[in-house]
Amino acid sequence: MTLDGDMYVRPGAGRQSEEQGSEQDGQRPNSKTELSRIEDAAERFLAALGVDLTTPGTVGTARRMARAYSELLTPIPFSATTFPNKEGYSELVLERRIPFTALCEHHFLPFSGHAYLGYLPAECVIGLSKLTRLVQFLARCPQVQERLTQQIADWLYERLRPRGVGVVVVAEHQCVAIRGVRASGTTTVTSALHGDLRTDWGQRREFFQLTGAVT
């Protein structure tokens, strides 16, 4: 994932407007050649597992699997729209329960949940929809929850230059729920803080109380 001006894009995906990214959600920028290679690999993988790919239900499984994984691993470009904080707003801005799904890089099984993003503005504020786009952009690659949480917080702190940033991520991991210990229903909570939300205990407490992420 790279920065191209104000547009955050996947390497090799080419420039694409935010509007195009929104309208074409579900259409991956991968070429037909790339998808064909992924499909061939998926077919070999399934065959190695002993899956019969000739039944009515499985004849197109490799193709669907290729498209599904391509979608999960292709970030949708977005523009980081910011605005001057002319009114001098100085209290917490908090976006709660931003949904996301990512692939755990250890087992390539999904983990899904919600992110809670807060920041104390300084000279600028960011469009609220961009907070959701940021989470979903960073989630669409092989991930671990700890890194995802830190990446979101670092991006906000470096890009907005706010007085403070706080991020909480709550997710259920299928690698825990359906294999190994098979502990379905367990959730993992991670957090990352910068600036006043890390050092000012009053601000820190307010952030965690307002998220309501953990009860």
**Residues 93, 175: one domain?**
yes
pLDDT of 3 > 80? The answer is: no
- Separation CA 65–CA 141 (nearest Å): 16
Active site residue 114: no
CATH number of domain containing 55: 1.10.286
pLDDT, tens only, 157-193: 999 999 999 999 999 999 999 999 999 999 999 999 9
Percent of the chain clearing pLDDT 90 (strictly above) = 81
Q: Which two tokens stand for residue 130?
A: 């961009």
pTM, two decimal places: 0.86
Query: pLDDT value at position 33?
Result: 79
**Residues 152, 187: one domain?**
yes
- Separation CA 170–CA 93 (nearest Å): 19
**Residues 178, 93: one domain?**
yes
**Residues 42, 131: one domain?**
no
CB 168 within 8 A of CB 208: yes
Q: Express the helix, strand and coil content of the chain in percent, nearest 5 each.
A: 40, 25, 35
Q: How many domains is the chain partitioned into structurally?
A: 2
Residue span of the structural domain in which 129 resides: 81-211
Q: What is the band of 48 on the pLDDT scale with cuts at 50, 70, 90? A: very high
**Residues 93, 163: one domain?**
yes
Query: For residue 95, how many other CB atoms are within 10 A of its CB?
Result: 19
**Residues 182, 101: one domain?**
yes
Instruction: From the candidates 34, 107, 174, 206, give the one annotated as an active-site residue.
Output: 107
Query: pLDDT value at position 44?
Result: 97
Active site residue 194: no
CB 183 within 8 A of CB 162: no
Q: Report phi then psi at 106, rounded to 5.
A: -80, -40
> Sign of torsion, CA 71 1 126 161?
positive
Active site residue 106: yes
Active site residue 107: yes
Active site residue 158: no
Instruction: From the candidates 105, 123, 146, 158, give the one annotated as an active-site residue.
Output: 105
Cβ neighbours for 89, distance < 8 A, ≥ 6 positions apart: 121, 125
Query: For residue 139, how many other CB atoms are within 10 A of its CB?
Result: 27
